[in-house]
Structure formats: C-alpha cells, structure tokens
C-alpha cells in the first residue's frame, strides 16, 4: 500500500498550463479507471476535481482535465489562475479493494 508518486511542487504563470503526474503500479492506477483528483486549500477539506480518470463533477471548471497512460495518471490545469494555488492529490482504487492517495503536489502561481 505505497502512496502514489507525485511531484512535490509544480509552478506556472497566470494563463499557462501545468500538468501534475501521478505514478502507481498495475495494481492501482494502471489496473483500473478509478483515478480521482482532489484540490485542498490549507486547513480545508479536500474537494473533488476529477473522477474516473477524466470526468469533471458538476461545478468544476473545464480548465481542469484528467488523463491516464499505463501506470501514470495526469491532471492538467489550463489557463492557470491565482485561485488554483493549492495542494493537489490523486487517488486510485487498488487490487486489494482499498484506496491509495498520492504524495501530493503543491501548485504555485508565479
């Protein structure tokens, strides 16, 4: 049950696009289309941004998109805005019927 691997930090200027990777194994990310992404502001509860690899919940900006290739999932934020500055976590279902989160990525808007 090792955490999924994410870069510790990613940064970009307003208007740019950034991509956050989430690397697991064939027993989690690569084996199921059950990858989700969460945004978390300091001291607040996480918010669901993407589910089932690439689906956006109602109310989430279409600037957020998700994809997967092999054992690596990705979250792309296009048209970066100051309000996107937060921590982001991926999560996946696993072959043990458990769930695992990523190590987390701090997004900084320059």
Partner 1 sequence: EVQLVESGGGLVQPGGSLRLSCAASGFTFGTYWMNWVRQAPGKGLEWVANIKQDGSEKYYVDSVKGRFTISRDNAKNSLYLQMNSLRAEDTAVYYCARGAVTTGYWGQGTLVTVSS
Please tell me whether residue 1 binds partner 1 under the rule CB under 8 A: yes
Q: How far is the CB of 38 from partner 1 (least distance, A)?
A: 7
**64 lies in the binding site for partner 1 (CB under 8 A):** no
Hey, is 56 helix, strand or coil? coil
* Nearer to partner 1 (CB atom), residue 39 or residue 71: 39
* Sequence-ordered list of residues with C-beta below 8 angstroms from that of 108, at least 6 positions apart, any chain: 9, 10, 11, 12, 85
One residue of 86, 100, 107, 109 binding partner 1 per CB under 8 A: 100
CA count, 13 A, side-chain hemisphere, 86? 21
Single out the segment in contact with partner 1 by CB under 8 A; choices: 16-24, 40-48, 64-72, 75-83: 40-48
Which of 22, 38, 84, 109 is close enough to bind partner 1 by CB under 8 A? 38
The Cα–Cα gap between 5 and 55 comes to 21
């Amino acid at each position: 049950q090792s955490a999924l691997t994410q870069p510790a930090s990613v940064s970009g200027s307003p208007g740019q696009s950034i991509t956050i990777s989430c690397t697991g194994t064939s027993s989690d990310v690569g084996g199921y289309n059950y990858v989700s992404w969460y945004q978390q502001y300091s001291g607040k509860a996480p918010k669901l941004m993407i589910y089932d690899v690439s689906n956006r919940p109602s109310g989430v900006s279409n600037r957020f998109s998700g994809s997967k290739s092999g054992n690596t999932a990705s979250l792309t934020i296009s048209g970066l805005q100051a309000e996107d500055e937060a921590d982001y976590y991926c999560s996946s279902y696993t072959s043990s019927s458990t769930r695992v989160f990523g190590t987390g990525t701090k997004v900084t808007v320059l």
